Amino acid sequence: MSNPSELKSAAILELMKQHLATDAGKELTKKIGLVYQINIAPKKLGIDEESYVVDLKKGDVTKGTYEGKSDATFSFKDDDFVKVSTGKMNPQMAFMRGAMRIKGSLSAAQKFTPDIFPKPSKL
């Protein structure tokens, strides 16, 4: 991820990229094997969004949009993504409150849980 981001979420995604390179991360890619696109907006959904691809087939996180069709696409505000990825907000609650929007396969989306994220050491 070359150009630095203003988003708090970018730091979490960078940690995830490092996590996927570990043995635990490789287990995760074997277990899940799905590709997620995550759109994160600083303040309001759809405005100045940054997109990331969390590829749990190849075990990588990249900035940008996915070439092809992702299994599920999520849209979050930055703060809400941080809450969901750190386990402070339940993904189902986030969805019901409108804090998270999902496109694509709901069964794929249900595998997108705080468990797939590395445990934060100092967030």
Q: Which domains does the chain have, with CATH numbers?
A: 8-105 (3.30.1050.10)
Q: Are 91 and 85 in contact (CB under 8 A)?
A: no
How many whole angstroms separate alpha carbon 50 and alpha carbon 37? 10
Can you read off the two tokens belonging to residue 51? Answer: 């997109």
Between 26 and 2, name the one with better pLDDT. 26
DSSP 116: G
What pLDDT does 114 receive?
A: 81
pTM: 0.88
Task: Tell me the backbone φ, ψ of residue 109, rounded to 5 degrees.
Answer: -65, -35
What pLDDT does 121 receive?
A: 56
How many whole angstroms separate alpha carbon 98 and alpha carbon 96? 5
pLDDT in tens, 4-21: 678 999 999 999 999 999
Cα angle 13, 43, 76 (rounded to 5 degrees) comes to 45
For the segment 59-64, the average pLDDT, to the nearest whole number, is 96
